Structure 1
Amino acid sequence: MKDNETTGSPSGEKIPVAMIGLGPLAGHMLGALARCPAVRVVGIADRDAQRAQLLGRDIDAPHYTDNRQLLMGTRPAAVFLATPPMAAVEIMETCASLGIHVWKDAPLGRNLGEAASMVRRFADAGLKLAVGTQRRFVETYQRAHELRARLGQTFLGRAEYFFNWGSELGWRADAHSAGGGALLELGYHPIDLLVWMLGLPEEVYGLSTRAEPSGDALAETGRACGPHDTDDTASALLRYKYDAIATVSVSRISGPVSEMLALRGQDGSLVASGESCTLRNPNGDVLDHIQPEVRAQDIAARQVESFIDAVASEADSCQCSAMENLMTHAVIEAIYLSSQTCQPESPLRQLEIHGLRPADNHNQAPRFHTR
């Protein structure tokens, strides 16, 4: 959808929005909000007063260091939330009590229980809650989703994401604050792609590990990562119906940044990344290939437009809804559990533990049990 096609509110008035949490994501998201004709940014907030002031000046919006003051003083209809996980729960609770829709940067919660609680809270309030699974808005992955039917019966998948975060982990070093490490923060995106493409797996078997830098890395950087109880690397095997399998591997201590998704079926194969998407027949001949210019600001704009259109509409759900994201959370929860039990675990069972009824079609969002 083009910027000028965003609908805005039914009355034609601009929708008041705010952004809380002005970290690395903020620049592109704020730029997208400032360019979206359907909204007006009524305020932004961050604990870093100087950063809030600078970004507020850039988009000509009031800035705050107190989240509650922002919410109570400006009363936005929607909030874009990109704070560290341990700070998000209280803000989301406040938004729900004030009748404010929320778009939240991934992951939705620190664990499946926390995520399910938030989904229930917003559903009970009749509010929309979406998650920033931005790969679903990247043209190359969208093309892969469109082409996957041409593979016939898919029998093998692979997704990976590698990134060197460096030695300064901050809150990411603490499991209580972060909820998890590489599997939760980085793995959320490739696992979400696999769920989007293949649905919910029947069971998973996985391992997650912590590793200190090697002697060479220590000599090069002059320091090692400090004490931390979150995982640096994780890998898992996912088993689907009809004997399909997929693997996912992630690490935050290995550069350069790279990510990819590969699917293989009876009638061909697909390989996609953030830069390209290629469909081949079983012999390896190229049937379809795109390599578009992918810009972060365009991806941010698509997410903003999608969520604002959902807020303005009377539809029950929205694209990348939090309810749908519970499937991704369930896979991650099962992988962490498998790493502890050393045996396969069921994402379906994890959903049931938290009062969720799996959909008959494993590509659809689960539902809460009737109380």
Structure 2
Amino acid sequence: MTELIRIGLVGLGGQVQKNHLPALLVSKSCSISAVCDSDASLAQSLGAELGVPSFTDLQSMASSKLVDAVLISVPHSFHFELTRVALENNLHVLKEKPFAINTEEAVYLAGFAKTRGLVLMTCVQRRFTDSSISFKRNLTLVGDPYLMNARYSMDIQYLSEGWRGSDTLSGGGCLIDMGYHLIDQILWYFGVPRSISASFSNGARPFQNYEVEDSASLLVDWGNLHGTVQISRAMPPKMDYIEVFGTNGSLSLSKGVLILRDRSGNPVLETISAQLKIDPYLRQLDFFAYCIGYHVSPPSHIPQVSLIDRCYSQYLLQMEK
């Protein structure tokens, strides 16, 4: 495969401009051929800056025949319809997480893409970081794992600002948004759990008006392995780590620092990632282009969405009490 995959950007917010756009501008597998946003002035401005046509709706972009694929980065509630339109127009799709806001939508989109022979891939750049890959490769060194703990938290002062505070627009709070990355990591490392128990809260900012959970605590069980997961938009300090304990020792990963310890807790291996921020996004684009060029299906995200669905079902039961 030698030709660049022509990508149209759909949704031109912060995630695209800070992360995806810089990677696309230097990618050797993909190129930007059009931009699209409901904000006409934003679309026109960025289109002029990049020297590509701009659109205000996806159907017009698709009809132009200027793109082979789209990168969708919009509020969660618009994911399904935009992905469906793209697939209907025989466009491959690289989309921001979550893959879908419920299992029914996830199954439909995955089946639709498969029927059309199109690549439908979710942006989970943690799978493309050196440290995350190293964690997976070194898992066997801990022996038989029996305990796992993970936390992804930050302290956002105004949880009511923007579309993420609206249940209608977001489909949920911290779990389906920032937590999606951690859920994906856990399933990648350990597989689908046998059971999961979830508790939620949305009282961290009592004088702010937001409709979704600000914090979630999960108890996850694979059988011989079990563990806890904490996700929060309101819990300082900012933390991002995962650790697993096994019969031969433990392995932890936090902010690019990987540490392997023996059974007594003594470090036997420590690595610090020197990877540039742009690298995982470049690798993600390369893998997307590879899947298109060689007719490879990227990993399914139905398990991730189904697991989150199970958690939210418990949330609804809590709210009814």
Q: Note whether the superposition's TM-score is higher than 0.5.
A: yes
Deviates most, 33-42 or 177-186? 33-42
Greater displacement, 115-124 / 31-40: 31-40
CA distance, structure 2, for counterparts of residue 74 and residue 31 of structure 1: 24
Match of 2:12 in 1: 22
- Contact map agreement 1:204 1:338 (CA 8 A) in 2: no
Gaps of 5+ in 2: none
Equivalent of residue 123 in structure 2, options 120, 126, 132? 132
Cα RMSD, aligned residues only:
1.8
From 162, 179, 183, the counterpart of 2:175: 183
Partner of 1:198: 190
Partner of 2:142: 151
Residue 174 of structure 2 contacts residue 213 of structure 2 at CA under 8 Å; is this kept in 1? yes
Instruction: Quote how far apart the aligned CAs of 1:122 are.
Output: 0.9
Task: Find the counterpart in structure 2 of residue 244 from structure 1.
Answer: 225
| 1:196-252 CA distance string (max 9 Å, x none) | 1111110111111111426xxxxxxxxx422x32111100100112x2101111111
Give 2:75's match in structure 1, choosing from 51, 59, 84: 84
Counterpart in the other structure of 1:263: 244
- Any conservation in 2 of the 1:234–1:250 contact (CA below 8 Å)? yes
Match for residue 152 of structure 2 among 161, 167, 171 = 161
Q: TM-score, normalised by structure 1?
A: 0.81
Identity %: 25
Mapped pair 1:225 → 2:208: yes
1:296 aligned to which of 277, 281, 284: 277
The answer to whether residue 261 in structure 2 is matched with residue 280 in structure 1 is: yes
Q: Deviations over 1:29-80 (max 9, x none)?
A: 1221121223332101122333333433443322222222112113421111
CA distance in 1, matches of 2:214, 2:38: 27
For residue 52 of structure 2, give the secondary structure of its aligned residue in structure 1.
Answer: coil
1:330 aligns with 2:312: no
Partner of 1:359: none
SS in 2 for 1:230: coil
Give, in angstroms, the shift of residue 294 of structure 1. 3.7
Give the AA of the match of 2:149.
Answer: R
In structure 2, what is the Cα distance between the partners aligned to 1:56 and 1:279?
Answer: 47
SS in structure 2 of the partner of residue 166 of structure 1: coil
Separation in structure 2 between the aligned mates of residue 273 and residue 36 of structure 1, nearest angstrom: 28
Instruction: Tell me by how many angstroms 1:86 deviates.
Output: 1.4
Q: Is the Cα–Cα contact under 8 Å of residues 154 and 238 in structure 2 kept in the other structure?
A: yes
Give the secondary structure class of the aligned counterpart of 1:74: coil
Q: Equivalents in 1 of 2:270, 2:45: separation in Å? A: 42
Q: Verify: 1:210 aligned to 2:192, yes or no.
A: no
Normalising by structure 2, what TM-score?
0.92
How far residue 173 of structure 1 moved from its aligned partner, in angstroms, is 2.1
Q: Contact 1:141/1:274 (CA < 8 Å) preserved in 2?
A: no
- Return the alpha-carbon distance in structure 2 between the equivalents of residues 156 and 338 of structure 1: 23
CA distance in 2, matches of 1:279, 1:212: 35
* 2-structure distance, mates of 1:150, 1:95: 43
2:217 to 203, 222, 235: 235
Aligned length: 316
Question: What is aligned with 1:67?
Answer: 58
What's the offset of the Cα at 1:282?
0.9
Which amino acid is 1:173 matched to?
Answer: G
Residues 265 and 58 of structure 1: is their aligned pair in 2 closer, same or farther, counting only changes over 3 Å? farther
- Listed as ranges, the gaps of 5+ residues in structure 1 are 1-8, 215-223, 343-371
Q: In 2, distance between residues paired with 1:193 and 1:100?
A: 27
Supply the distance in 2 between the matched residues of 1:282 and 1:67 (Cα, whole angstroms): 55
Which of 32, 36, 44 is equivalent to 2:27? Answer: 36
